[in-house]
Structure 1
Amino acid sequence: MSTPSIPRSVLVVGGGAAGNAATILLRRAGIAVDLIEAKDDWNATAGSGITLQGNALRVLRELGVWEQVERSGYGFDAVGITAPDGTVLHVSEDLRTGGDELPATVGMQRPRLQRILIDAVRAGGATVRLGVRAESLDQDDTGVSVRFSDGTEGRYDLVIAADGLGSATRAAIGVTDRPEPTGMAIWRVAAPRPTGLTRTDLAYGGPAYIAGYCPTGESTLYAYVVEANRDRTTIPAHSYADEMRSLAKHYGGHWPEITAHITDPAQVNYTWFDRMLVEGSWHRGRVVLVGDAAHCCPPTLAQGAAQSMEDAWVLSQMLSATDTWDDALFQAYYERRVARVRPVVEASVQIGQWQLDGARDADVPGLMGRTMTMLRELP
């Protein structure tokens, strides 16, 4: 006769890609999960678009939402390199890092992906509380007592910190790492998709380091231009559309049609590129970091969401495979993940640094190819 599993309870802090993925998978394993998210709207309207490589799609398939993602996004298998005037210089087939049965890449409207994950969290039976933060964590050998911003309290076997780049949970448990700017920044906007635009194209040169776009549906895309970062306090929000348009107007091909739609500053997003990799371990006691709370990198390889969701997948597998949740397990999670995350962070930063340095002999295709080949392996 098998010994019944010990009932377990987990608090997930943060309802982004990593937190939602962990919640879905842990609930499927029969673990009780409370999810708290500081934002009242559960990030349901934030962001313009997202590029999901095959290894991200592989996790989404594990979450049971691949068919919805496939219907809602736009899949493609190639990337083009163009001159600033729009002349196509090279088209390469992307590696299918999620396996041959999944596209190399799917572009999606970010709010649509979030809605799909929210619905899956709800369907899994987790307890969800929005507009709530964890104000204090009091640990002992058997669990974590948490006091919440709404005055309530809870007791959990484990807390998963999925609260992003500025993770308050990371700071609360004494991890001092913070995101550091790489020197670049990106302007992003959603726009209608021009006829004939069926893949990502990247233009190097001109007034920006990169000007690119990604189809996100039958009639939509998101476009972006990358420049040296500037003091955000000197850029008034009402000028965001003007700022992005002033860069984008120098690019040809599909860009004139895209640029004509960059008119509403409220729809334009401006963020710096950051890097971080927490070293040594991603836990303190029974609080474990996942996703951007543990690592972040520039989007030069489009691996941010993929690596975050892989964290959640791996940790959930390890938690559901044993009743012994201890330092050895959490350290094994870190060692398994850091071996994969580190080369992604380093390659993403290196690609940007080569551009900042104006390196003419940089082997960007080689570095990208080696990294993506590694990502084809299961995490």
Structure 2
Amino acid sequence: MTTARRVLVIGGGSAGNAATILLRRAGLAVDLIEARPDWNATTGSGITLQGNALRVLRELGVWEQVKASGFPFVSLGVTAPDGTLLFEFDDVKTGGEDLPATVGMQRPQLQQILIAAVRASDATVRLGTTAEILDQDAEGVSVRFSDGTEGYYHLVIGADGLGSATRAAIGITDKPEPIGMAIWRTPAPRPASVIRTDLTFDGPAYTAGYCPTSDSTLYAYVVEDARDRATIPPESYADEMRRLTGQYGGVWPEITKHITDPAKINYTWYDRLLVEGSWHRGRVVLVGDAVHCCPPTLAQGAAMSLEDALVLAELLTSGRDWDDELFQAFYERRIPRVRTVVDASVQLTQWQLDRVRDADTAGLIGRSLNSLKALP
């Protein structure tokens, strides 16, 4: 194994960007391709980053920028529909005592920080580009790019998300399965009283919540039964979200009055995916949402993707051969941790769907998050 080997990373989200930064730091030649010409630099409202995600971001060398851009907090509140605080509890510090329990930030801001780190790594980046896997041999993978050029790589990392074309191309037939819920998300100005995530598990929605994302911003969300997207005209998104949020008290009236631009609102179904057995075929290995996703009930989606990149990069730069044994070791190291998150996140959702009033919600969240304190 020499550092002259070439790696292709397909997908420029959190997992792909992180893998690129780490492998370039180790001296590997890395090409990163991203299908979207804008590199998703302006897409999304907000993101909740728990301590174990922050731990990886610190390893990437971007923690100081994240801290300066986001809003750290250490507790979680649960409120009644009228806004009355029912209880507040300390959030679990999954990244260790030297990091905040949670940082909320604007998703585009995180992406821009990671993009800058990829650029600084001197990786080769091609935007608006996709790849087709042509063939594999014992040493690598031949690919054809959407611009007609071809290349040969000693490893291809598929970090191309939930609808991963790479996953399908290597014969993994698993697909995301809808859970039965959907979430409305939007950015909004932050009222001064919003200093942490507060959640309401009652009222017209399954969940209504908000998370501060900077000194001046937050993102708000409401969860309802999944509806056929074709029945919801995009121009009605603001009206639909206001219909739900307008029935909550506390700071919600202040948030709701800013829900006016349908273009800023995202409507997404909850899905479940967990690929079992292995996450590779030959010299193609999958990471992040391409192999696992779940409802955001534990706010661990980005953390699991970032951890995938960290663990894979550690193994690839350990001096071991890049063979089935190494890639299976990657899967076996990740699957128990990822399964804990996926199963718990889906269970929390199912309890809501089934209207289970005496569910051990707090206990399950606490046990799941405490299990993530250990290094990935």
Counterparts of 2:5 and 2:315 in 1: how far apart (Å)? 14
Counterparts of 2:360 and 2:3 in 1: how far apart (Å)? 51
Amino acid at match of 1:202: L
2:248 counterpart residue number: 251
State the 1:360 CA deviation: 1.2
Contact in 2 for aligned 1:143/1:158 (Cα 8 Å):
yes
State the 1:8 CA deviation: 1.3
Is 1:353–2:350 an aligned residue pair? yes
Amino acid at match of 2:185: R
Match of 1:143 among 140, 165, 168: 140
Is 1:172–2:169 an aligned residue pair? yes
Can you give the 5+ residue segments of structure 1 that lack an aligned partner in the other structure? none
Cα deviations by residue, 1:333-368 (Å, 9 ceiling, x for unpaired): 000000110010000000000000000110010000
1:225 counterpart residue number: 222
1:342 counterpart residue number: 339
Is 1:95–2:56 an aligned residue pair? no
Match of 1:308 among 305, 309, 321: 305
Is the partner of 2:218 in helix, strand or coil? strand
Choose 128-137 or 220-229, whichever is displaced more. 128-137
In the TM superposition, 1:108-147 aligns within 5 A as 108-147=105-144
Contact in 1 for aligned 2:3/2:27 (Cα 8 Å):
no
Cα deviations by residue, 1:267-309 (Å, 9 ceiling, x for unpaired): 1110000000000000000000000001000000000000000
Q: CA RMSD of the aligned region, Å?
A: 0.8
Counterparts of 1:331 and 1:136 in 2: how far apart (Å)? 21
2:18 counterpart residue number: 21
Give aligned-pair identity as a percent: 73
Amino acid at match of 2:307: E
Is 1:79–2:69 an aligned residue pair? no
1:163 counterpart residue number: 160
Contact in 2 for aligned 1:6/1:323 (Cα 8 Å):
no
Contact in 2 for aligned 1:343/1:371 (Cα 8 Å):
yes
State the 1:136 CA deviation: 2.8
Cα deviations by residue, 1:42-71 (Å, 9 ceiling, x for unpaired): 000110000000000000000000000000
Contact in 2 for aligned 1:80/1:91 (Cα 8 Å):
yes
Is 1:373–2:373 an aligned residue pair? no
2:56 counterpart residue number: 59
Counterparts of 1:232 and 1:137 in 2: how far apart (Å)? 35
State the 1:139 CA deviation: 0.4
Contact in 2 for aligned 1:5/1:323 (Cα 8 Å):
no
Contact in 1 for aligned 2:25/2:121 (Cα 8 Å):
yes
Q: How many residues align?
A: 376
State the 1:245 CA deviation: 0.2
Is the partner of 1:375 in helix, strand or coil? coil
Cα deviations by residue, 1:158-188 (Å, 9 ceiling, x for unpaired): 0000000000000000000000000110000
Is the partner of 1:205 in helix, strand or coil? coil
Is the partner of 2:206 in helix, strand or coil? strand
Amino acid at match of 1:316: A
State the 1:331 CA deviation: 0.2
Is 1:263–2:278 an aligned residue pair? no
Counterparts of 1:5 and 1:111 in 2: how far apart (Å)? 36
Is 1:181–2:170 an aligned residue pair? no
Is 1:281–2:278 an aligned residue pair? yes
Match of 1:299 among 296, 305, 311: 296
Contact in 1 for aligned 2:179/2:272 (Cα 8 Å):
yes
Is 1:49–2:73 an aligned residue pair? no
Amino acid at match of 2:40: N
Q: For the structure 1 residues 6 and 81, does the alpha-carbon distance in structure 2 shift closer, same or farther, using more than 3 Å as the test?
A: closer
Is 1:202–2:186 an aligned residue pair? no
Contact in 1 for aligned 2:3/2:29 (Cα 8 Å):
no
Contact in 2 for aligned 1:291/1:308 (Cα 8 Å):
yes
State the 1:195 CA deviation: 1.4
Counterparts of 1:238 and 1:329 in 2: how far apart (Å)? 49
Is 1:36–2:33 an aligned residue pair? yes
TM-score normalised by L of structure 1: 0.98
2:5 counterpart residue number: 8
Is the partner of 1:18 in helix, strand or coil? helix
Contact in 2 for aligned 1:193/1:220 (Cα 8 Å):
yes
Is the partner of 2:144 in helix, strand or coil? strand
State the 1:135 CA deviation: 2.1
Runs of 4+ in 1 over 3 A off after TM superposition: none
Is 1:192–2:169 an aligned residue pair? no
State the 1:5 CA deviation: 3.3
Is the partner of 1:212 in helix, strand or coil? strand
Contact in 1 for aligned 2:3/2:28 (Cα 8 Å):
no
Contact in 1 for aligned 2:210/2:218 (Cα 8 Å):
yes
Is the partner of 1:208 in helix, strand or coil? coil
Cα deviations by residue, 1:192-249 (Å, 9 ceiling, x for unpaired): 0001110000011100000000000000000000001000000000000000000000
Contact in 1 for aligned 2:272/2:293 (Cα 8 Å):
yes
Counterparts of 2:268 and 2:362 in 1: how far apart (Å)? 25
Is the partner of 1:247 in helix, strand or coil? helix
